[in-house]
Amino acid sequence: MPDFQRKAGLWTNEQKSQLIESLILRIPLPAFYFDGSENDNWIVIDGLQRLTTIKEFFVDATLKLSGLEFLKDLDGCTVTDMPRVYIRRMKETSIINYIINPGAPINLKYNIFKRINTGGLKLEPQEIRHALFQGFATKYLKELSDMPLFKKATGYSIRTERMLDREFVLRFIAFYEMGVEKYDGSIDDYLNKAMEILNKKYPKDEGYVENITRKFTLALDTTYETFGRFSFRRMPDLYKRRTISKALFEAWTSILAHHDVDELQKFVAHKKQIIQEYMEMFQDDEFNGCITSGKASSVRKMFDKIGQLVESYI
């Protein structure tokens, strides 16, 4: 089962109960959407919480109704306490299912996931990628995001429950592997491509993956040794610690990863001067704009600025 699908059962008991109440009242349910790429293992695109609720009520018999809006006399009931007439109504409910057929292009599937997921627990982009690119890539991102050094270098501040930590790792891999020159402004397509590359290359070249792990570790260690708790953050001064920036993370890690150990040690040895110059860069409105833009030209300018700073001290 894809990792994001293990996050079933996130609804409150009241939300679950109101779904069961809707079934009894014969209120039509929204359609369910599935990815049917694998005949024996469909992936739920939209409707996971509803399916989980139905299972808890009918199969597990563990859901005790509460907070009902219209059928208040059923508060406290489980399926075993339910009048048979209501059970029959629910079993006769018509459900509409849509299935994405095998062979659909990955980017098409990704966009279908994005457009359909409009509910209260909308999937995050990285959760969608983990559904579509099951294999080595999904396991490897988890492995790297679980590294103590990654957590330390990012100040233990990147949320894990919606796979944001894995997206950060993927951003490093994408820019390290493909280079900023191949980034065209569509971060989704760019990261999807990186997932595809990981799944294709690993079976053929284990050394490729070992190199990524080693380079990622060196980049994280160098950044933390240089900037400490301000790593991957804007630095207007040393008294305010801003939130982690995805853009700064992908830039610093992928740029530093292209240098060897001796060069990185030389870089760290000049950290006082580097911090001073780096802080001055944030006085430039253009540089600040490049960090938040996401446009290909802006991202390249940001990489160029940081790359020039690195090159001047190695």
Evaluate if residue 143 carries a pLDDT over 90: yes
pLDDT at position 165 is: 97
Q: Taking the CB of residue 169, how many other CB atoms lie within 10 A of it?
A: 25
- Give the residue from 311, 310, 181, 184 showing the smallest Cα distance to 248: 310
CB 79 within 8 A of CB 14: no
Residue ranges per structural domain of the chain: 3-116, 125-311
Distance CA(139)–CA(52), nearest Å, equals 25
CB 223 within 8 A of CB 235: no
pLDDT at position 1 is: 46
pLDDT at position 119 is: 55
Q: Write the pLDDT tens digit of every residue in 39-89.
A: 777 878 788 889 999 999 999 999 999 999 999 999 999 999 999 999 999
Q: Name the pLDDT band for 101 (thresholds 50, 70, 90).
A: confident
pLDDT at position 127 is: 87
Q: Write the pLDDT tens digit of every residue in 14-36.
A: 999 999 999 999 998 888 888 88
Distance CA(184)–CA(201), nearest Å, equals 23
What secondary structure does DSSP assign to 292-312, as a single string? Answer: HH--HHHHHHHHHHHHHHHHT
HSE, CB side, 13 Å, CA atoms: give it for residue 238.
Answer: 6
CB 125 within 8 A of CB 114: yes
Q: Which residues, including other chains, have CB under 8 Å from residue 250's CB and lie 6 or more apart?
A: 168, 171, 172, 174, 175
Listed ranges 30-44, 152-166, 212-226; the one with the highest mean pLDDT: 212-226
Q: Write the pLDDT tens digit of every residue in 239-288.
A: 566 889 999 999 999 999 999 999 999 999 999 999 999 999 999 999 99
35 sits in which H/E element: strand 32-35
- The more confident residue out of 147 and 199 is 147
Distance CA(72)–CA(107), nearest Å, equals 46
pTM over 0.85: no
Q: Which amino acid is at 169?
A: V
Coil, strand or helix at 32: strand
**For the chain, give me the number of helices (H) and strands (E)?**
15, 3
- Give the residue from 209, 231, 98 showing the smallest Cα distance to 157: 231
pLDDT at position 111 is: 77
Distance CA(209)–CA(211), nearest Å, equals 5
pLDDT at position 133 is: 86
Per DSSP, 95 falls in state -
- What's the gap between Cα 208 and its chain centre? 23
Per DSSP, 123 falls in state P
